[in-house]
Homo-oligomer: A and B are copies of this chain.
Amino acid sequence: MVATLGYAAAQAQAPLAPFHFERREPRAQDVVIEIKYCGVCHSDLHQVKDEWGGSMFPMVPGHEIVGRVVKVGAAVKNFKAGDLAGVGCMVDSCRSCPSCQEGLEQYCEKGFVGTYNGKEKDGKTITYGGYSNSIVVDEAFVLHISDKLELSAVAPLLCAGITTYSPLRYWKVGKGQKVGIVGLGGLGHMAVKLAHAFGAKVVLFTTSAGKTADAKRLGADEVVISKDPQQMKQHLRSFDFILDTVSAPHDLNAFLALLKRQGTMTLLGVPDKDPSLKIANLIFKRAQLVGSLIGGIRETQEMLDFCAEHGITSDIEVIPMQQINQAYERMLKSDVKYRFVIDMATLKD
């Protein structure tokens, strides 16, 4: 077994604290990774607080993992000790349903195995995530990481990056298109960078006028204050695509009104209150309201390669493991530009 030190919540709402546990002895297909950095995703916070229900404790959160391979199983083909490696939101899936066969493990019909707060395919072993110094993962769910990029800033690509890359690619966002990004947080700031890199004209929607300069630095061509009806009105029926990264309850109809005929609005977050929908916004324009969930393993590798080629990483603030509870408090106030990343070298007894 692989002795591991992590940070865990002992129960719902409890602060995270040091936690010793064991990873499985690597199997033939397994890669053992020494974790260097782990991004802090808003979903970590939701699950630690058991806001989505069904949380399992003790919980070691973290699914934006980068590190270095220290050991591989006998049958591992694509990784060797010393390689940089990443792990995202999934560590396994059924691998046989149509979704898995198509490389869309995120839509596995039996449910993928979450990197933490999940159950292995044995139906009982609880998974522990990346707020820890090592992880053991089947190579089919391990990603290659380029050494061209700053490793700490790559970590958030494993969730925030792929969650925005996948819909932008699936709905073919690119040159000649006007694309809106709603919200400038962890997901939104990646969406701005990626949509810009794909050649689209990017408009960032935010409620905070203070984010204007930063949005432009990140790649937005224009910033619209979404609570100003006059500004919104100027963009009526003009968008090919809108990517809504906001999970907090908000009015979808104000954005649907900005779509062109046959435009698409993609939702990434599940608010805790169901929004109401003005159906006329869809009917009179043959518009589409769609959803998207992270991305498959093959596409995650494609995204990482794209980011390496184009020099794209997340804007981050590196914190020591010991500051995770304060970081959660700051996240609740949106006080982070734009992702906390834990430096795992700070994780000691």
A215-251 with Cβ < 8 A to chain B: 237
CB of A289 closer than 8 Å to a CB of B: yes
Number of copies of this protein chain within its complex: 2
Within the assembled complex, what's the spacing in Å between the Cα atoms of A291 and B289?
A: 9
The answer to whether A107 and B283 have CB atoms under 8 Å apart is no
User: In angstroms, how far is the closest chain B Cβ from the Cβ of A69?
Assistant: 32
Which residues of B are found within 8 Å of A275, using beta-carbon distances? Answer: 276-277, 279
Within the assembled complex, what's the spacing in Å between the Cα atoms of A23 and B277?
A: 41
CB of A274 closer than 8 Å to a CB of B: yes
CB of A304 closer than 8 Å to a CB of B: no
The answer to whether B292 and A286 have CB atoms under 8 Å apart is yes
The answer to whether B282 and A286 have CB atoms under 8 Å apart is no
| Known A-B contacts A274-B277, A276-B276, A276-B277; A268 and B283 likewise in contact (beta carbons under 8 Å) | yes
- A293 CB contact (under 8 Å) in B277, B278, B283: B283
The answer to whether A280 and B284 have CB atoms under 8 Å apart is no
| Known A-B contacts A99-B261, A107-B261; A284 and B279 likewise in contact (beta carbons under 8 Å) | no
CB of A209 closer than 8 Å to a CB of B: no
- A290 CB contact (under 8 Å) in B270, B274, B286: B286
The answer to whether B288 and A289 have CB atoms under 8 Å apart is yes
The answer to whether A289 and B290 have CB atoms under 8 Å apart is yes
A104 and chain B: residue at smallest CB distance? B261
The answer to whether A293 and B286 have CB atoms under 8 Å apart is yes
- A279 CB contact (under 8 Å) in B107, B237, B267, B288: B267
User: In angstroms, how far is the closest chain B Cβ from the Cβ of A284?
Assistant: 6
User: In angstroms, how far is the closest chain B Cβ from the Cβ of A128?
Assistant: 24
Within the assembled complex, what's the spacing in Å between the Cα atoms of A289 and B281?
A: 11
List 5 extra interface pairs beyond A277-B289, A286-B292, A288-B289, CB under 8 A. A98-B261, A107-B284, A271-B279, A276-B277, A282-B289
A-B CB contact pairs (8 Å), 16 listed: A99-B261, A107-B261, A252-B277, A267-B282, A268-B283, A269-B279, A270-B280, A274-B279, A275-B276, A275-B277, A281-B291, A282-B289, A283-B291, A283-B293, A285-B291, A286-B290
8 pairs of A and B residues whose beta carbons are closest in the complex: A282-B291, A283-B291, A274-B276, A288-B290, A289-B289, A277-B277, A107-B261, A270-B280
